[in-house]
Structure 1
């Protein structure tokens, strides 16, 4: 009887240990997307001429989703859906901009960096070919898009603050 009890205890110990290791591995798998969790929330950029909004939600451990739009004189002049997803070790930023690119998704891939800037690239896309996000100060986003338009390098900045 003692041998059976000891065997059960040993088996239970190693089973629990294996579960902990599997959980640790799963958490590590989403390390890159976890570094972008600061995006979650509602962001605004309101000026006299336009109102821009970017709303991020956590869909699950590997995915963030957003809806971004801009209003000028009560008319929505731009809108897009974004899915930010980690698949294995790759983080993909997939955008569907309404009334652009036949409403088809365009995917940009996170490039390694040594700074606090997250840059996603798709050098085959006309414009933008790069989308970058940074969090320069708490409760703010500095985002920008870059690429070539008419053979000229163009950069467009977006500044958001966390909505109250």
Structure 2
């Protein structure tokens, strides 16, 4: 009788462990899309003779990355924005607040593509840009660009950063 009870206990223990493994597996895969963007975490810069641009990314939780970027010309801040990259279900959203633009209100772009390390977010309702793309061409670099139309003319602006931390 003791052997049967011991056998049942061991079987229950094995089943419980397998259940925990699956729940861990589900938790990891639940945010697989945002996992692909975690290479952004850290400090990035693009310094030229004319201007200095900086980006800083942190991880808030399993589903969210937070970014802050700004550009200086001399000692004047000419651009600054706060970004939230968040996975909600199967979708990833890039929400940006660009200070002194859009009445400091957030604008959200939805991830459309993520091919070969290139991540594209779109919002066709926004004036400019309608598309924001981030890529990681080499381990310690970011190539980002924004696209859209200005006065009926297609426009693309590139941003190149290198890791600074």
Partner of 1:9: 10
How far apart are the structure 2 equivalents of 1:9 and 1:83? 46
How far apart are the structure 1 equivalents of 2:7 and 2:138? 56
Partner of 1:154: 155
Please give the secondary structure, in 1, of the residue aligned with 2:50: coil
Please give the secondary structure, in 2, of the residue aligned with 1:102: helix
Partner of 2:30: 29
Partner of 2:87: 86
Partner of 1:68: 69
> Matches of residues 51-130 of structure 1 in structure 2 within 5 Å?
51-130=52-131
**Does the alignment pair 1:144 with 2:145?**
yes
Q: Which runs of 5+ in 2 are unaligned?
A: none
Post-superposition offset of 1:69: 0.4
How far apart are the structure 1 equivalents of 2:37 and 2:112? 13
Q: TM-score, normalised by structure 1?
A: 0.95
Partner of 1:48: 49
Distance 1:35 1:96, change over 3 A: same
CA RMSD of aligned residues (A): 1.1
Post-superposition offset of 1:113: 4.0
The answer to whether the 8 A contact 2:113-2:121 is kept is no
Moved over 4 A (4+): none
Deviations 1:46-76 (A, max 9, x none): 1111110000111111111110000112111
Residue correspondences, number: 164
Post-superposition offset of 1:102: 1.3
Deviations 1:138-163 (A, max 9, x none): 20111000011111111000010111
Please give the secondary structure, in 2, of the residue aligned with 1:128: coil
Q: Which runs of 5+ in 1 are unaligned?
A: none
Post-superposition offset of 1:6: 2.0
